[in-house]
Structure 1
């Protein structure tokens, strides 16, 4: 029981790549008793609601699984978790004694994921290497590379190679 309260972060954008990273994290990293924290970053938007503006700098509170499984609540955050992601998390929560929460941040994914590592704080982070469309990635540079170089915790990049599409 050397490390209590390990917080395993997974950067998710609800793409196939992030599902793969999440599945890998659950299979290889997450142990009984860990907290699993899904970190998702949305583009900055303008929110009418006061609470949203409040969170624009710090991100959302940690949202429990019961809430992030609820499409009505998530709509308020402007986030749509895909069924596969929810399924992976629900299954993991049943099989291992883990607490799963989601943290939503607004802004540049590279900076915000690094901030989340510090602020939550995360023990480690798993991220897919194919989060952004090609064009966007060329402009921004890869989010996963940036987080590996600047994140204040061990970062594992789960490579997503489409062998079947060649």
Structure 2
């Protein structure tokens, strides 16, 4: 039983971010170690006009415990759409591994907000999924994972989808 770690997972509910979540739970979380799994959501400031966004746009939401996150009204307050598959995965990790699960919502550019979250949440490790863009699309569209790998101040694992 070692020192507890803060492990961040960037989540956008895509199939690749779900693969990254499962990978992190299977490969990084140790049973009864006191590890804290922090799910990081970054929403577009233009698409979300909730009151909570207006309150927490600069700093991000308070940390939301999994039990509160399961309440659909709480997720709606933050402009999130609840994904039952993700909630089940998190619930199972919490119950079987004794892992504490927290959720944090940010608004803005995912690249900058995810890198900011590393320092804000004092993450020991960050895991994110990759869309698997080819070289040309990556140049044209930019790559969140490339940016985060180059700029984050903690170890980053990029998990590619199938």
Structure-2-length-normalised TM-score: 0.89
Could you tell me which runs of 5 or more consecutive residues in structure 1 were left unpaired when the two chains were aligned.
162-166
Which segments of structure 1 move beyond 4 Å, counting only runs of 4 or more?
136-140
Once the two structures are TM-superposed, the CA of residue 68 in structure 1 deviates from its matched residue by 1.0
User: Where do 1:14-163 residues align within 5 Å?
Assistant: 14-31=13-30, 32=32, 33-45=34-46, 47=49, 49=51, 51-130=52-131, 139-161=140-162
Counterpart-to-counterpart distance in 2, 1:129 and 1:25: 14
The Cα shift of 1:5 comes to 2.6
**Paired positions, count:** 157
2:138 & 2:82 partners in 1: Cα distance? 22
**C-alpha distance in structure 2 between counterparts of 1:124 and 1:131, whole Å:** 21
Deviation at 1:47, TM superposition (A): 3.5
SS at match of 2:98: coil
How far apart, CA to CA, are the structure 2 residues paired with 1:143 and 1:47?
24
TM-score by length of 1: 0.87
Note the C-alpha offset of 1:107.
0.3
